[in-house]
Structure 1
Amino acid sequence: MLHHFPSALRPAIVALWAIDEAMWAAIAAASQPALAGIKLAWWREALARLDHDPAPPEPRLRAVADHIVSRGVSGSDVAGIEEGWAALLDPVPDADRVLLRGQRLFAIEARLLGVEDPLLPEAGSLFALSDAMRRRLGDFGQARRALLGDLRGRRVGRAARPVTLAARLAARDLAEPEGTPGRALALLGHRFHGRITGADYPARRE
């Protein structure tokens, strides 16, 4: 998906998703939820410090400082995705908190890209819930179906589609694995018509 963004922005997009992946790794590698919570809190605090302190030697934090904070997006904004990951540590995760991860990721990308679209919050929410289910981190079927209903038939504006490709593919990945022809067609279709849901997209797969 990276090649759908302007080349000048790609280091910033890579830096953003590297932080997101680091937070996922904190959860995946921890033997107990409390340990994962400590690691997530470290990332949140370290990112927030970028707003007033030089970046430490940690390469992912330096990349955020060099490519995201330098473009006017605060480290605190990036730190905000931690709340969505932290919600997944609860015995019964709250879908309203889990979806914040996607909303904030998409908001940052849209700001970097200089675009706005009214469907971005819902698309980000769908991404977060679908991705969490794909990783087997919770059952958010009811909230996800509600979002699918809200988004069905609606189109994302062309300028914002590099951002919402992640929602289209995360949702599609619940239906079939990566690398399949249907997934590739879903990506191309979204770039062409801007729909996140469509006839090829199952209403549910829980």
Structure 2
Amino acid sequence: MQNDPERTLALAYAPDDGRRGALSALLALDTALGEVVRSTTQPALGQIRLAWWREQLVKLDTQPPPAMPELIALADMLLPRGVGGAALAELVDGWDVLIEAESLDDTALERFAAMRGGRLFALAARIVGGNAGRAERQGRGWALADLSQRLDDVQVRERAAAMARVSLAGPLAGVAKPLGILALSARLALADVPAGGPKRAARLLWFGLAGR
């Protein structure tokens, strides 16, 4: 996802005063945690790997980061902006839902949405500004939409997509442009608007210009 052109577009609308780098570091953390889950074949090992991330993130509040690019970037870019390691560690719990839950019922999906996407967008709003409450709602939908694109179980995929549409239906007015573009990208994906196509590109660019 780090090579996702729509994510690159979203980052381009973050102010180039350090906030763009901070948002990029936050999204890179989400990508790294997601890769742990996607590459896990044994739940117990996956939880051990996520526990390592949780521990390292909490330690950022009191210790220098280990020699890992994602952790170094977080320490350099987010800690000075008041986003601490303990707050970042809460994102791990969102991804952990996908490993620990016996089944992805509505309760598990809601927990995942809130603890991954909602929390991520709320922290991002502390960096780039905008309406944090609306950003948090859009983040929930963004996380569910992303998950729905990756699930093999048709019923769970459709339920995640339906729940995503509910959260994403909220207004984007007042949401910082980088987060709005990510949310809008998720809406377009759920509507089966082809990625890379002119209709999707035009809609994203219009939001970047007009904020709606």
TM-score range, shorter chain: 0.7 to 0.9
Of residues 54-63 and 137-146 in structure 1, the stretch that sits farther from structure 2 once superposed is 137-146
Q: Look up the SS of the partner of 1:26 in the other structure.
A: helix
Q: Is there any run of 5+ residues in structure 2 with no aligned partner, and where?
A: 1-9
Would the alpha carbon gap of residues 23 and 109 (structure 1) be closer, same or farther in structure 2, given more than 3 Å must change?
Answer: same
Q: Quick one: percent identity of the two aligned structures? A: 37
* Contact 1:172/1:183, CA 8 A, preserved across alignment: yes
Q: Per-residue deviation at 1:137?
A: 6.7
Alignment match of 2:112 (pick from 98, 104, 109):
98
After the TM superposition, list the runs of 4 or more consecutive aligned residues in structure 1 that deviate by more than 6 angstroms. none
- Paired with 2:164 and 2:49, the residues of 1 have a C-alpha distance of 31
Alpha-carbon distance in 2 for matches of 1:36, 1:176 = 34
Bigger mean CA deviation after superposition, 83-92 or 39-48: 83-92
Match of 1:61 in 2: 71
User: Equivalents in 2 of 1:13, 1:150: separation in Å?
Assistant: 22
Q: Report the equivalent of 1:116.
A: 131
Deviation at 1:149, TM superposition (A): 4.3
- Identify which range, 24-33 or 142-151, moves more after superposition: 142-151
Specify the SS of the correspondent of 1:57.
coil
Q: Is the 8 A contact 2:177 2:211 kept in 1?
A: yes
Residue 129 (structure 1) shift: 0.4
Tell me the distance in 2 between the aligned counterparts of 1:88 and 1:128: 12
CA contact (8 A) 2:141 2:168 kept: no
- 1:76 and 2:86 equivalent? yes
Corresponding position of 1:86? 96
Within 5 Å, which residues of 2 pair with 1:28-43? 28-43=38-53
- Residue 165 and residue 87 in structure 1: after superposition, are their counterparts in 2 closer, same or farther (change >3 A)? same
Aligned: 1:185 with 2:202 = yes
Cα deviation for residue 21 of structure 1 reads 0.9
TM-score scaled to structure 2, two decimals? 0.81
Aligned length: 194
CA distance in 2, matches of 1:30, 1:84: 15
How large is the Cα RMSD of the aligned pairs? 2.3
Structure showing greater relative contact order (alpha-carbon pairs closer than 8 Å, 6 or more residues apart): 2
The answer for the alignment partner of 1:133 in structure 2 is 148
Unpaired runs of 5+ in structure 1? 196-206
